[in-house]
Structure 1
Amino acid sequence: MFIRSGFVVVIVGFTLTSLSTIIVALRYYCRYFRMGSVGVTDHLMLTALLLTWGNTTINFYQDTTSSKFRPSQFRFPVSIPAPQIRLGQFLITLQEKRPMIEAALRGTLVTWWMYRITYGIALCFVKLSILYFYRAIASHATFRRMVHITIGFVCLYTFASTIASIFQCENPSDAWSTTAFLSQFDGVKGRTKPPKCYDPTRLYLFTATINLFTDVVILLLPIPTLLGLRVPMSKRLALIGIFSVGLLAIVASCVRMWVMALWSQSPEKSAQFGADLLLWGQVETNSGIISASVPFLRLIFGRREKEPEEKRRVVVPPRPIPTDNKPLRIDSLKFFTEPDLGPNGSPVWEPFITVPASLSSGSRGSAMLEPTRPHLTV
């Protein structure tokens, strides 16, 4: 069973974007209900998710329009009689068939023009969300300064690449002109006046390189600060592991850059690797959203981990003083009866206060308690 590569892009795009939507929703739940605060970093990630849904919708229309023609139909010139092909019971020349595919071709060119713009902006918002999170936790002045510099750089190059993508041609509408696109396959020079456009492949390779560079910078930016924390090494390594989840986005960016190099070699290669380029673009954007949001989801299990500990707490009552099960007896009548008299008629008292001799040395206040006799008996 043959499955179009464009249809695979649509399936993967909708699956990954749906997963990203679930992750971002859980992130909002944790931030609002568990932490009690939703910040700029969360809103930036939500904007990136909406733009990713826009890219997924554009991929759907790219597959729908491109499935109505084959790139091999562009290779026959218009100026000479084209060979005839049999389609069912009708004989249709390629010259007559070309106007039939122009509507679908125009849709493909428009969606590609829109995709180049929204793709770069979506990646920009993903990176800004991560950088604003760094900015919120940054306490060191140098780290905070580096975060601000990276934010400014990401915004500037995204703005420049977006403007360059919009004005790929002197007249922006020439970017989706079917006449200008088909003129490069006619084989007769001078028949159609070419529009004033620049070759966009260099721009795409440059932006792919900058995206990979900024991904690596954002990954490595907090590591020196994490290594300098005064916590056990195991906790530092755990924090580094959490922040290194974005390594998947870097791998996807590397693969996409390699596909971009193959895609930009020729128009035939562009038709061959176009679906792969869109596929890895979806993987790169969604992996950035997921990897930046997953560390917040640990708060979901915070209460579940604490409840068993509280249930296991048992209040141990103080141990009773052993009394051999005999009640204490106080003969209070002796305080009121006449004491025994001695030979000289004075009462005789039994000793009841005794200061041990050990207090006479080696203890605090021994000078005050030091007796003149070994024992002081009253």
Structure 2
Amino acid sequence: MFLRPGMVVWVAGIILTSLSTIVVALRYYCRYFLMGTVGATDHLMLTALLITWGNTVINYYQDQTSSSFRPSQFRIPEKRPKIAAALQGTLLTWYMYRITYIIGLCFVKLSILFFYRAIASHITFRRMVYATITFISLYTFAATIANIFQCQNPSDSWSTSAYFSQFDGPGPSKTPKPKVRCNNPVQLWVFSAAVNLFTDVVILLLPIPTLLGLRVPMNKRLALVGIFSVGIMAIVASCVRMWVMALWSESPANSAHFGADLLLWGQVETNSGIISASVPFLRMIFRGREKEPSEKNRGISPPRRPVDTNNKPLEISSMAFFSGPDVGPNGSPIWKPFITVPASLSSSSRDSAALEAQHPHQTV
């Protein structure tokens, strides 16, 4: 049975996002019923999950619209009216995806950083957390605005007449070419992928020096480092997506060939971040099952937690995370008009290669 690459993307998206939903639901259960506290870090992760579900729906419509035509039909004026509706749907869904993908990753990272903020009392660590939050927020805002205004008039981004005009020859045309002003977005997307990878690494490494400096037994320090290092899953996915992005941006043929892979690894990256950042909170489920029988067998009540009479911020060296409740374009430098559209997610590389030979400015 043959599955279109685009179908693989949204099916995998449904599976991964469903798994993320289960993990986030268990996270809320542990935080509310077992830890007794739900904070901004949890709500930010829930927002990221909802945006990821939105991306999955967008992936579905990207596949449905792009599978209704082949890139070779763009050069046949008689075919254009028949595929215009599907093409516009493809243009529009990709326009939406570029924006929501960046925002979704932002909320995942902010959730992790807000958790760091809740347990940070060392002034240097706290300042670094605030600086990272500020950088990611400003970068996401700037990248979102840049994607929204890829074309001076945003609606030109999904204009079929503007897109078809790229495939008309230099001679006279039956229909006048629309005047659009659009920027080359490839540099922005490659830069965004690099920044995403960089911030993933920063977030992973940020708490390590503080954790290694705790005055606790080495086994507990290493356990804490292991808990915080589960985010390496997201970094691996981000590295693979960065590699696919590099291949995707080399040529129009590569853009058509690797478009589905780019979407797929985007799903893996986002869901890996959600799951890896939420799994550490699920330890309370197993912790409670292990401790309760032993305490009953001994006939003693759980020890009472000391009260902080000075109302000082929680020290990470107090092992609060273990204790629970207090865890707070190709050959030419000018691309115009440039409208970005992915080739059909189910199209063959032969169609794409034929386009590249005659029209080097078409990109996906």
TM range, normalised to the smaller chain? Answer: 0.7 to 0.9
- Find the counterpart in structure 2 of residue 171 from structure 1: 153
Segments of 5+ residues of structure 2 without an aligned counterpart are 301-364
Amino acid at match of 1:54: G
Amino acid at match of 2:135: F
Specify the SS of the correspondent of 1:231. Answer: coil
- Find the counterpart in structure 1 of residue 312 from structure 2: none
Residue 126 to residue 314, structure 1, CA distance change in 2 (3 Å): closer
Once the two structures are TM-superposed, the CA of residue 313 in structure 1 deviates from its matched residue by 2.5
Residue 129 to residue 276, structure 1, CA distance change in 2 (3 Å): same
Once the two structures are TM-superposed, the CA of residue 267 in structure 1 deviates from its matched residue by 2.5
- Find the counterpart in structure 1 of residue 216 from structure 2: 231
Amino acid at match of 1:290: I
- Find the counterpart in structure 2 of residue 185 from structure 1: 167
2:107 is the alignment partner of 1:122? no
2:264 is the alignment partner of 1:282? no
Give the TM-score normalised by the residue count of structure 1: 0.76
Once the two structures are TM-superposed, the CA of residue 96 in structure 1 deviates from its matched residue by 2.3
- Find the counterpart in structure 2 of residue 9 from structure 1: 9
Specify the SS of the correspondent of 1:181. Answer: helix
Cα distance in 1, alignment partners of residues 172 and 200 from structure 2: 45
Specify the SS of the correspondent of 2:77. Answer: helix
- Find the counterpart in structure 2 of residue 72 from structure 1: 72
- Find the counterpart in structure 2 of residue 207 from structure 1: 192
Once the two structures are TM-superposed, the CA of residue 259 in structure 1 deviates from its matched residue by 1.0
| Cα pair 1:17 1:286 within 8 Å, conserved | yes
Q: Cα deviation per residue 1:327-376 (whole Å; 9 max; x = unaligned)?
A: xxxxxxxxxxxxxxxxxxxxxxxxxxxxxxxxxxxxxxxxxxxxxxxxxx
Cα distance in 2, alignment partners of residues 314 and 20 from structure 1: 39
| Cα pair 2:161 2:178 within 8 Å, conserved | no
Cα distance in 2, alignment partners of residues 143 and 189 from structure 1: 63
2:78 is the alignment partner of 1:96? yes
User: Which stretch has the larger CA shift, 181-190 or 134-143?
Assistant: 181-190
Once the two structures are TM-superposed, the CA of residue 308 in structure 1 deviates from its matched residue by 2.6
Q: Cα deviation per residue 1:24-56 (whole Å; 9 max; x = unaligned)?
A: 000000000001110000000000001001100
- Find the counterpart in structure 1 of residue 45 from structure 2: 45
- Find the counterpart in structure 2 of residue 91 from structure 1: none
| Cα pair 1:71 1:271 within 8 Å, conserved | no
Runs of 4+ in 1 over 3 A off after TM superposition: none
Cα distance in 2, alignment partners of residues 304 and 189 from structure 1: 77
Cα distance in 2, alignment partners of residues 301 and 262 from structure 1: 43
Segments of 5+ residues of structure 1 without an aligned counterpart are 77-93, 316-378
Cα distance in 1, alignment partners of residues 188 and 122 from structure 2: 36
Give the TM-score normalised by the residue count of structure 2: 0.79
Specify the SS of the correspondent of 2:2. Answer: coil
Question: Root-mean-square deviation (CA), in Å?
Answer: 1.4
Percent identical pairs in the alignment equals: 75
Amino acid at match of 1:171: N
Specify the SS of the correspondent of 1:95. Answer: coil
- Find the counterpart in structure 1 of residue 24 from structure 2: 24
Q: Decide which of 261, 264, 268 is 2:253's aligned counterpart.
A: 268
Aligned length: 297
Q: Decide which of 279, 289, 293 is 1:304's aligned counterpart.
A: 289
* Larger RCO (CA within 8 A; separation ≥ 6): 2
